[in-house]
A and B are shown apart, each in its own frame.
Chain A
Amino acid sequence: MTVAPDQQAGALSRRLLYLLPVVLFLAVAGYFLAALWMNRNPQEVPSALVGKPSPDFALGPLLPNVPGVARADLNGSVVLINFFASWCVPCRAEHPFLMHMAADASLPIFGIDWQDKPDAARAYIQELGNPYARIGLDQSGRTGIDFGITGVPETFVVGRDGRICFRQWGPVTDEDTAVALLARIKECRG
């Protein structure tokens, strides 16, 4: 039996096509293996920023009488950067703590209003009071992504050199977390 060459080539490419699924699958399995090999903890990825200089950003103000925040405002003293949003219930729970810190006036707190509607955020500040020395409006969420936040609220302690010194994941609502955060702030002051 003879087979025409082009027919043979057709049969070959047909065979190769049927090989495609297993090849693709093995590539994916390779990625899975690599991911297991790295033994990464997905939740820890963002903390890689600790010890690194703060990302660059410049955010416009939310309120007429409170200035916005930019990277340039971070040099010179230890500050707290708090990501919040009016739609976030834990942020409300955390708010009394921030008000308390602000009344203490031991260090400036900068707020970044993340992925929020400005009107809702203004109402939020009006209702609960303003603990922030500066508030930047991060409507697109870009600065939040640069900081590697996974949600709100998150709080960063930035040192005198403009490097991120500590990252608080989630709200500060109970005493233990508050005490721990205050201790870290002390450490960051050096």
Chain B
Amino acid sequence: MIPELGQVALVLALALALMQVVLPLVGAARDNASWMAVAPPAAQGQLFFIGFAFLALMQAYVSSDFSVAVVADNSNSAMPLIYKAAATWGNHEGSLLLWVLILAIFGAAVGTFGNNLPPKLKARVLSVQAMIAVGFLAFMLLTSNPFARLGQPPADGADLNPLLQDPGLAFHPPMLYLGYVGFSMAFSFAVAALIEGRVDAAWARWVRPWTLAAWIALTAGITGGSWWSYYELGWGGWWAWDPVENASFMPWLLGTALLHSAIVVEKRDALKSWTMLLAILTFGMSLVGTFLVRSGVLTSVHAFATDPARGVFILLLLVVAIGGSLTLFAIRAPTLRDGGLFQPISREGALILNNLLLAVGCVVVFLGTFMPLFADVLQLGAISVGAPYYFLIFNPFAALLVVVTAIGPLLPWKRADLAGALQRLTIAAIATLLVAGLVWWLKTGGPLFGILGAALGTWLLVGTVVEFVERIGLRAPAEALRRARQLPRAAYGMTLAHAGLAVAILGMTGSAAWKQEEIRTMRAGDTVSLAGYDYRFDGVADVAGPNYTATRGTFTVTKEGAPVVTLHPEKRVYPVQGMPTTEAAIHTTGLADLYAVIDTPDAAGGVAVHLYHQPLVPWIWGGAFLMVLGGLVSLSDRRLRVGAPSRRRVMAVARP
């Protein structure tokens, strides 16, 4: 009964969304306040019905109702409760429902808290938001109904893919979707502004918090996924340029660009049409990611079961949403006039360079991701694009971006003195040379990019600190403290985020340049040395989990005789799906990870063992954490919550 109610709720949500598309849009065109006023309650109603449907599906999972097809295919009565609940979105249908739920949350938030928005803009934003909801609700009901029942329910479910049976499933997809779907807000605001034909500083001020929130969630989601694959897949890496990783990285690159260009719109009334384009393309990239995962055109660890009908439907959505909005852009954007003038060497100029580099980076990733597909369509033969391509083509742009990121914040608006800014970075330059020299001296014979990466990370880190110290001044401590207290939170946010990027770059460089590994067939009692640590293998034991059995190995790790840690990597087998998974054992020293993986023992009692020494990998997570923290601090800035928009409106009214 409850699943049927869930389905009815989805149909009702679709009906409400249709109404929310039409009435507010027509109302805004005809100045009809009561038609526009339909939008907020409709958005809240959508959230209610979709939330109900989501809880109904979760209830079916938690109570192991195997008469519901997706539950029978993706759950099992022996699974721990948390995975039963998280399995709700561990499949195509359920994850789509989560997608729509988050969309509804954002829509209802604008409807409820957007009181300081001009009524017409608000009505149009909510109408566009509802168009997206209509598309996805129809997609779900027509091709991927999560509540479809089975005629003959099985006694037990087919189990969730064992790789997904991990706490990572509880946070990675929701975070990622918060990011993807969050960019729909920037999209809706952009389309609404294009319909209206007006973009001003106030517009940018409304859009920025939404974009920032989405960016924070996407950053956390991507990092979470990277961390998950690092410890769960047992391959010793954290990024593989897999098509679906790229699909999350492309909106991140464009979203980062959008975040920065919106500042220019807000503060300097310039870059308007470029910002519109970015807002449309960022969400477009989110939709392309959805298309990639669910249509089966590319192969990836993330791909859901493929179904061409779904692919065609999403492609249709993509063409209507992105093709439509880009057409609107082509018609309306030429009429947008930029206000603020500026010299090429200025804060604006630096932000434009930032945007260009991020956009080019996105194009590079896009081509790398889709080249195999395009080559196939053009019958050029099967090609594959791998890490060397990104290393050679993407990294140079990224490196240039990092160089600029340290300089940009030191440049004033309108017109700047580049030589003066560089002079203020003298300390950063000295530190960079020192670190580069130190790395060269310590790691003579290591790859050149290790030195370059360490230098870049240092440059950005010290440059960011220099900028912050200059802001608060180096006079009396009391004066510096007073200034630090007066500094807007957005400034702290930038400092944290840029420093986080620097730390993450150091981590990525360390792991890519100086990773060491050892593969060996070991027997109990054997010892292997790696990077100064001795790993003694103490054999394997069989252990039983709630719904799996595992072979657990034991390594006693010592350094120069002193005990460091005992590692317990596991090889698990989930009998329902008959699928083995690897549980890497990781010990972090803060400067490096000791990482051990085992395979199942062979007949002679030997165990294939893969040991890695992963320098600086923890810094990647630490850097990403700083970036997320910077975003959150910036989001809590008063200026983003209340303030100027409403005041400005009062002023506009007061003027004759």
A→B interface (CB under 8 Å): 11, 14-15, 18-19, 21-22, 25-26, 28-29, 31-36, 38-43, 45-46, 48, 86-87, 89, 92-93, 96, 127-128, 148, 150
Contact = CB atoms under 8 A, between A and B. Distances in A.
Contacts of A92: 519, 521, 599, 608
B376 A14 contact: no
A21 B315 contact: no
B333 A89 contact: no
Given A25-B322, A89-B519, A31 B327 contact: no
B334 A14 contact: yes
B284 interface: yes
B281 interface: yes
A18 B333 contact: yes
Interface stretch (B292-300, B346-354, B498-506): B292-300
A19 B599 contact: no
B603 A96 contact: yes
Interface in B296-332: 296-299, 308, 311-312, 315, 318-319, 322-323, 326-327, 329-330
B315 A45 contact: no
Nearest to B609: A89
Interface size class of chain B, counting residues whose CB lies under 8 Å from the partner chain? 35 or more
A32 B420 CA distance: 49
A96 to B, nearest CB: 6
Contact of A93 (B298, B327, B329, B599): B599
A32 B376 CA distance: 11
B144 to A, nearest CB: 16
Contact of A40 (B291, B329, B376): B376
A7 B476 CA distance: 58
B608 A22 contact: no
Q: Is the interface of A mostly helix, strand, loop or mixed?
A: helix
A18 to B, nearest CB: 5
Contacts of B521: 92, 127-128
A139 to B, nearest CB: 14
A160 to B, nearest CB: 27
B1 interface: no
Given A18-B329, A89-B597, 12 more contacts: A21-B329, A22-B323, A25-B323, A31-B370, A32-B291, A32-B295, A32-B315, A33-B315, A35-B373, A39-B308, A42-B296, A42-B372
Contact of A36 (B284, B312, B610): B312
Nearest to B235: A89
A148 to B, nearest CB: 6
Interface in B78-135: none
Given A21-B277, A36-B308, A92-B599, A15 B334 contact: yes
Nearest to B332: A18
B376 A35 contact: yes
A26 to B, nearest CB: 6
B526 to A, nearest CB: 12
B599 A89 contact: yes
Contacts of A45: 376, 382
B516 to A, nearest CB: 12
Contacts of B298: 42
Contacts of B308: 36, 39
28 contacts: A15-B334, A18-B329, A19-B330, A21-B277, A21-B326, A21-B330, A22-B327, A22-B329, A25-B322, A25-B323, A29-B315, A29-B319, A31-B373, A32-B297, A32-B373, A35-B373, A35-B376, A36-B295, A36-B315, A40-B297, A40-B376, A42-B298, A42-B372, A43-B299, A89-B597, A96-B603, A127-B521, A128-B521
Centre residue among A29, A39, A128 by max chain B CB count within 10 A: A29
A103 B280 CA distance: 63
Contacts of A29: 315, 318-319, 323
Given A15-B334, A18-B334, A96-B602, A35 B297 contact: yes
Interface in B365-411: 370, 372-374, 376-377, 382, 384
